[in-house]
Structure 1
Amino acid sequence: MLITNVRAHHVRIPYDAGVGSFRQGASAIAALDIVMVEVSTDAGLTGWGEAFAYVCPRTTATAIDEMIAPQARGLEVPDAEDIPALMDRIQRNLHLFGRYGITMFAISGLDIALWDLAGKVKALPLHRLIGARRRARIPAYASLLRIGAPDQVAGECATALRRGYTAIKLHETTTPAVFAAREAIGAGMPLMVDMNCPLDGAGATAFAQACRPAALKFLEEPVWPPEDFATLAEVRTKGGLDIAAGENACTVHQFRQMMNAGAVNYAQPSVTKVGGVTEYLKVAALADEMDIKLAPHSPYFGPGLLATLQLMSLRDDRTFVEVFYMNRAACLWRGSVDTGPDGTVAVPDGPGLGYEPDKEIMERYRVS
């Protein structure tokens, strides 16, 4: 079976997040930009992947069309055990363009699609290609967008609890907002804070120390720049809170640098950024070797979320899947990845990633 084409699809789905705002750098994000990677074959089977694309979907799509597609067209569709060798070759071929950012996002999309295809060839879900499923449903945490006002933070947290969520993550940078959330959800519920890399070491340490009474499960990415693992390790030592990081890291090699520096208690590989399923599995194995917990980054609703659910089902470690707390105008999977009233998301049972995207939704929200 041969790969006949690799194509990027830009799908833009509006959302309503209530009082929160979603920003990437200086840019406000008013809709979910999903770049889906379609791998077609001469046997009629299709694999679907996702490449990270917030703010820059056209750039990611161009990378897929110009850099990734020529690497894959005409190749034999690899079996699951052969995907790592193929992806290593493609990474080597493209290393001139860097092993970080857009290049790795595009590689991730292809890798996920190849694993989807491998599962479809065998008529098995992705998790069965790797090992035994340990969980059929994954508990979700509500990943709130940045709100700011403490009273509104408390209100959104209370609403998330009523909707069944059993853990909350904030994207706040002030202690009043953090303590308002803790008061709203009570003492026993897991609470996390993602700062998105705003502070120097002294500022991050001071913030961590100030938040200690709020009993955070972890403080995520408090330090700028995110690759300053030495400073992050210092914050972990002096701040008194567990530290999580990794959504900005690509390949297992950067995670090894992070872990060797003693920078994290929780490693956060993002399957749409790190290099796909192949690199995610390497990061998971390294984390186990170094006794570091996994807390996957997954605030997306395309094939990347399906892949994350499949991978998380292999581990009975009580980890939560990250779900953006927002109301989408549409769902590519006909609502199958919605969080249930018990605060969990079902792991797909179908072949490959488990579901086929809704073509009508893709066409309705396609960006030419």
Structure 2
Amino acid sequence: MNIANIETIALRIPFTTGGPSAGGVWGSKNLQVVDSLVVKITAEDGTVGWGETFGFTAIPAVKLVLDTILAPEVIGRDLAGREKLMSDLQKKFHIFGRSGAFLFGLSAIDIALWDIAGKRAGQPIWQLLGGTRVDSLAAYASLIRYADPELVRLNVRRAVEQGYRYLKLHEVDVACVRAAREAAGPDIEITLDVNCPWNVREALDMAQQLRPYNLRWLEEPVWPPENYAGLASVRRQGGIPVAAGENASTLMDFQHMLQAGAVDFIQPSPAKMGGITELQKVYALAQAHNTTVMVHTFYDGPGLLASVHASAALGGANAIVEWRYFDLEAQLYGDAIVPRQGRLAVPRGPGLGLEPDPDVIRDYRIAL
């Protein structure tokens, strides 16, 4: 059975965030719409699979690569050769870079092909990955950067009142972290993602100031993100567990990070680093290095579902899934994947387990 067609669909959905965004690496100040790119693959028998790439301002480049380069290479290929296809395409196009648009596009294709495989087998992806005993996973509310202690305080309280026991901040100053801890109290687990702003000395100085707030991890404290030796220094000396991996792109990147002893938590991002095929390999690598996988999931389409399936099957009951804490005007899956009391249901249907709402696609699709 071969691949018959690939369609790329860009979506733009308005959202609010409990106050104005201060901006960040993924969006401008006061951002009020979120762009995403989903990929629809149709097999010769009509079976449809859905994938997703990492989005925001990268979408036009990824869509161009998918439409003009990757799709012509994939259409007509055998569905049964998914892993070989992914390997062949990585090798063929490596000269254009081992990250960015090409790998983002391949990630979406891989997720969609897993969706098709599950549907044709009549099994959810978590079953294809070995099965799970959990029917829901804890979610952590991943807040935007507010850069305002009072807004942080307000939105931390809002998330806790909605049942979240785990939170992620994207702040870069101590006052905002202090406000979050004061608002959350001592029993809520807080993580801090600072998006690579500091050199090693600066990161160590900040870690000293942040230690009183009992962070579960400090995420990507060092620039550049591939400075694994620097991350390892912060991990050894900073007194706070270190997390990283959303900017790692290949299995070798993750191997180098783990060999350097750079992280306590490793964070592959399936819509960026090769999809489910590569994600399951990172789990095996991490297990060999006694390191915990916490999948990066700053999206809410098929990429999120892929993370839920992999986390349920390969991470088990202790896995925590990132939930982008946006108040979206519309959800691609309606209420089916929205956390309830801080937990996400693991889909039980075949493949990814849920189908995108065609009305949402119709109403929020944009031309690029």
- Correspondence for 2:14: 14
Q: Structure 1 residue 238 and structure 2 residue 237: aligned? A: yes
Kindly report which structure 2 residues correspond to 1:163-174, keeping only aligned pairs within 5 A, or say none.
Answer: 163-174=162-173
Q: Percent identity?
A: 40
> How many Å separate the matches in 2 of 1:185 and 1:214?
11
Cα distance in 2 for residues equivalent to 1:44 and 1:316: 33
The amino acid of 2:337's aligned partner reads V
- Tell me if structure 1 keeps the 8 A contact 2:10–2:36: yes
Q: Write the mapping of 1:104-119 to structure 2, written as runs, cut at 5 A.
A: 104-119=103-118
Gaps of 5+ in 1: none
User: Is the counterpart of residue 131 in structure 1 residue 136 in structure 2?
Assistant: no
**Please, which moves more after superposition, 281-290 or 30-39?**
30-39
AA partner of residue 197 (structure 1): C
| 1:107-159 deviation line (CA, Å, top 9, x unaligned) | 10000000000001111100111101132101111111011121221121111
After superposing the two structures, state which structure 1 stretch, 13-22 or 117-126, moved more: 13-22
Deviations 1:65-98 (A, max 9, x none): 12210221111212xxx42222111111111111
Question: Please, which moves more after superposition, 59-68 or 104-113?
Answer: 59-68
Report the CA distance between 1:25 and its aligned residue. Answer: 5.8
Kept after mapping to 2: 8 A contact 1:47/1:116: yes
- Tell me the CA shift for residue 296 of structure 1: 0.9
Instruction: Confirm whether residue 39 of structure 1 aligns to residue 70 of structure 2.
Output: no
2:147 and 2:334 map into 1 onto residues whose CA distance is: 33
Pairs aligned (count) = 364
1:297 alignment counterpart: 296
Q: Is the 8 A contact 2:42 2:49 kept in 1?
A: yes
Structure 2 alignment gaps of length 5 or more: none
| Alignment partners' CA distance in 2, 1:26 and 1:121 | 38
For 1:215 and 1:164, how far apart are their aligned partners in 2? Answer: 20
1:256 maps to 255
Contact in 2 for aligned 1:20/1:144 (Cα 8 Å): no
DSSP 3-state at the match of 2:211: helix
Q: Distance in 2 between matches of 1:95 and 1:140?
A: 35
Tell me what 2:90 maps to. 91
**How do 1:276-291 residues align onto structure 2 when only pairs under 5 Å count?**
276-291=275-290
* Cα distance in 1 for residues equivalent to 2:319 and 2:124: 20
Structure 1 counterpart of 2:351: 352
Q: Residues 222-255 of structure 1, C-alpha deviation per residue, up to 9 Å, x if partnerless?
A: 1111111111111111111100000011121101
CA distance in structure 1 between the aligned counterparts of 2:26 and 2:303, rounded to whole angstroms = 22
Structure-2 residue corresponding to 1:3 = 3
Give the SS at the match of 1:56: helix
Deviation, structure 1 residue 20: 4.5
Structure 2 counterpart of 1:11, which letter?
Answer: L
- Residue type matched to 2:28 in 1? S
Partner of 1:324: 324
Letter in 1 for 2:6: V
Deviation at 1:30, TM superposition (A): 2.7
1:15 counterpart letter in structure 2: F
Deviations 1:279-310 (A, max 9, x none): 11111110001000111110111100011111
Aligned partner letter, 1:336 = A
Q: Does structure 2 retain, via aligned residues, the 8 Å contact 1:24–1:55?
A: no
The aligned counterpart of 1:27 is 28
Partner deviation per Cα, 1:148-173 (whole Å, 9 max, x = no partner): 12122112111110011111110000
